[in-house]
Amino acid sequence: MPPETPPWWTRAVVYQVYPRSFADSDGDGIGDLGGILQRLDHLADLGVDVLWLSPVYPSPQADNGYDISDYQGIDPLFGTLEQLDELIAALHARGMKLLMDLVVNHTSDAHPWFEESRASRTSAKRDWYWWRPPRPGFAAGEPGAEPTNWQSFFSGPVWELDEASGEYYLHLFDRRQPDLNWENPQVRQAVYEMMRWWLDRGVDGFRMDVINMISKDLQGMDGAEDGHLHDGPPIPGTSLGDGSASYLCGPRIHEFLAEMHREVFAGRDGALLTVGEMPGVTVEQARLFTDPDRAEVDMVFQFEHVGLDHGTSKWDLRPLRMRDLKASFGRWQTGLADVGWNSLYWDNHDQPRAVSRFGDDSPEFRRDSATCLATLLHLHRGTPYVYQGEELGMANFPFTSLEQFRDVESLNHHVQAVSAGSDPGEVLTALRAMSRDNARTPVQWDASPNAGFTTGTPWLAVNPDHLEWNAAAQRDDDRSVLAHYRRLIALRHSDDVVALGDFTMLLPEHDDVYAFTRALGDDELLVVCNLSPTAYRLAELLPEAPAAELVLGNLDDDDPAELRPWEARVLRLP
Ligand code: TEU
């Protein structure tokens, strides 16, 4: 049952801006706040409610801003604090909200906190990060001397030796992203203070980067805390281990998030939003995180559906099986039906482009598959997230050589894999399919050189397909991907059943057709999406469908009895 007054975000759609690649106002080839301010009409025209801004804080840009060296400023690369204030005001004037990216599992190694921490073993901030001596019996720097065997998300060990003090520091991501020690209450208070400062400035909430990794498990085999971090199971083919059991949803994670809520959000007026990015989170845990009575976060980003087309490593590609996707989405819809809330996404700055990955980006089906995937996602129960360019049907980049990549994860992986004996051609094939740079090529505004993104040289090449696939070409075209997103967003705003209706999966075993109902009171929608190039007789699959009223479809009117390749229909049952 929906609550009496559902929170505002149950009918909201969020749009993610990755500022580096959105719009460049000063010709340096890197997107900036000025560029975003110039393009706000695009967001207003789309009808989105919230802008989630990926990091714009001062940063050495080792991980494009997810390595922050000052939490309370703006990197000159992106603009000024005054422009950020201007952005808040401009969004609010249009009825939109601003969601800031909060990256507090780690800082940059150039953050003054880390510089002070690393200065000496007796530094007052030593304990703000995870410093550990070499493994007993090993000398610092010797292979295998790392305090645990954990593998970093960005290849290699999670430990980096600081020669000066002879100790290692922990970094779950790049070595220039040291993990903060959330066990230390001073760290937590410093973070909360910074968050309050942003809210006081007018921002409307936070997307919290890898927030389920902030609590590390310090328990030994007997379950008692021994102050040590422990080895994880070995990863076949490497000398490293999987430490995730020690840092995904660790023992104090709920305590920390509840404390953050009390210290930062409780008692504040205004319609705020918190979303926790949580790799590896299960439905059961997500129920706890998003249970309003527990007051932790409003919703989480889960990763199950973006893990179905590869093995344990994202570079180990596998075909997606439709029944796996249905089982996964279905479980999340059911698991968060009565308690909690889902966030819905195909794309973000870390994922390859959905139309290339789950759709068909060939000229024949690109538009239809992009709109079909959008319909499927936006008709689920939860808050949909649109990643910049997704609303234009932007596709993966035709990478042909290593020199074209910029992403630290991709580059580290290439070095690691090739030195471990992998065939460079095969590594390139995996990068081409899965690299985060696929999502990071500049937004395609028009057909001009550099797609209207910059007057300078773009930091990452513009996709050559921008001549055909761009915002200007789609704005007034009623059949465009953009127009379809506009309609989907409007439908969520206007139709209670889209925002709040109960979800029931149909045809769980079907290999191509994804179908479900949404019901609220007497109102029932049937959603049918053909995720394949094969046509189906609709009546044979869903006898009630052909006679139902069409609310929204992605193809022009035709035979109601046939479900064409990549066709999506939202139908209202009598
Ligand atoms: O990403 C978290 C994360 O675990 C993955 O999505 C990761 O980026 C990678 O794709 C795993 O293969 C968040 C941010 O979204 C990402 O951009 C940052 O690089 C990362 O945290 C570190 O801050």
Q: Whose CA is nearest to atom 4 of ligand 1?
A: 279
Q: Whose CA is nearest to atom 10 of ligand 1?
A: 350
Distance from C-alpha of 48 to C-alpha of 384, rounded to nearest angstrom: 10
Q: Looking at the CA of residue 172, tell me the nearest atom of ligand 1.
A: 22
Q: Whose CA is nearest to atom 20 of ligand 1?
A: 66
The answer to whether residues 385 and 299 touch, using CB atoms and an 8 Å cutoff, is no
Sheet of 159-162, strand order: 131-132, 167-170, 159-162
pLDDT at site 223: 80
| Angle at alpha carbon of residue 203, lines to 197 and 204, rounded to 5° | 120
Cβ < 6 A, ligand 1 pocket: 63, 66, 103, 153, 173, 209-210, 279, 314, 349-350, 409, 436
How far does the chain reach from its first CA to its final CA, in angstroms? 22
Q: Looking at the CA of residue 63, tell me the nearest atom of ligand 1.
A: 19
Q: Looking at the CA of residue 173, tell me the nearest atom of ligand 1.
A: 22
Q: What is the DSSP string of 189-204?
A: HHHHHHHHHHHHHT--
In tens digits, what is the pLDDT along the chain, a chain of 574 residues? 445 789 999 999 999 999 999 999 999 999 999 999 999 999 999 999 999 999 999 999 999 999 999 999 999 999 999 999 999 999 999 999 999 999 999 999 999 999 999 999 999 999 999 999 999 999 999 999 999 999 999 999 999 999 999 999 999 999 999 999 999 999 999 999 999 999 999 999 999 999 999 999 998 778 888 889 999 999 998 999 999 999 999 999 999 999 999 999 999 988 999 999 999 999 999 999 999 999 999 999 999 999 999 998 999 999 999 999 999 999 999 999 999 999 999 999 999 999 999 999 999 999 999 999 999 999 999 999 999 999 999 999 999 999 999 999 999 999 999 999 999 999 999 999 999 999 999 999 999 999 999 999 999 999 999 999 999 999 999 999 999 999 999 999 999 999 999 999 999 999 999 999 999 999 999 999 999 999 999 999 999 998 899 999 999 877 889 999 999 999 999 9
Provide the annotated active-site residues: 209, 277
Q: How many CB atoms lie within 10 A of CB 321?
A: 12
Distance from C-alpha of 211 to C-alpha of 330, rounded to nearest angstrom: 24
Among 56, 209, 244, 313, the mutation site with the greatest number of ligand 1 atoms within 8 A of its Cβ is 209
Among 16, 107, 173, the mutation site with the greatest number of ligand 1 atoms within 8 A of its Cβ is 173
- Tell me the β-bridge partners of 167: 162
The answer to whether residues 264 and 313 touch, using CB atoms and an 8 Å cutoff, is no
Q: Looking at the CA of residue 174, tell me the nearest atom of ligand 1.
A: 22
pLDDT at site 560: 85
Q: How far is CA 145 from CA 173, 239, 338, in A?
A: 19, 12, 48
pLDDT at site 221: 75
In 294-357, which ranges are E strands?
299-301, 343-344
Helix axes 322-335, 283-290, angle to 10 degrees: 30
The answer to whether residues 33 and 42 touch, using CB atoms and an 8 Å cutoff, is no
Residue 340 identity: G
